[in-house]
Structure 1
Amino acid sequence: MCSWMVSSYFGSILYSEMPFNVEIKAKVSNASQLAEKASQLSQSEGTVIHQQDTFFNCSLGRLKLRDLMDGNGQLIFYERPDCGGPKLSNYSISNTPDPEGLRAVLADALGVKGKVKKERRLFLVGQTRVHLDTVEGLGHFMELEVVLKEDQSLEEGEVIARSLMKDLGVREDSLVTGAYMDLLLEAQG
Structure 2
Amino acid sequence: MPANVEIKARVRDVARLTENAERLSGTQGCTILQTDTFFHAPRGRLKLRDFRDGHGQLIFYDRPDSEGPKLSRYTVSPTDDPAGLTAVLSEALGVQGTVKKERRLFLVGQTRVHVDHVEGLGDFVELEVVLREQQSPQEGEKVAQQLMEELGVRQEDLLAGAYVDFLLALAGDAKASR
TM-score with structure 2 length normalisation?
0.96
Listed as ranges, the gaps of 5+ residues in structure 2 are: 173-178
Q: Where do 5+ consecutive residues of structure 1 fail to align?
A: 1-17
CA distance in 2, matches of 1:173, 1:106: 37
Residue number in structure 1 paired with 2:107: 124
1:131 and 1:149 mapped to 2: Cα distance?
19
Task: Deviation per CA, 1:78-127: give whole Å up to 9, x if none.
Answer: 00000010000000000000001100100000001110000000000000
Partner of 1:90: 73
Corresponding position of 2:89: 106
Residue in structure 2 matched with residue 6 of structure 1 by the alignment: none
**Distance in 1, Cα, partners of 2:168 & 2:52:** 23
One-letter amino acid matched to 1:151: Q
Give the paired residue count.
172
Deviation at 1:59, TM superposition (A): 1.3
Residue in 2 that maps onto 1:54: 37
- Following superposition, the deviation at residue 128 of structure 1 comes to 0.2
For 1:25, give the aligned amino acid: K
Q: Does 1:147 align with 2:130?
A: yes
Q: Does 1:23 align with 2:6?
A: yes
- Runs ≥4 in structure 1, deviation > 2 angstroms? none
The residue that corresponds to 1:64 in the other structure is 47
Q: Say whether 1:33 aligns with 2:28.
A: no
Give the TM-score normalised by structure 1. Answer: 0.90
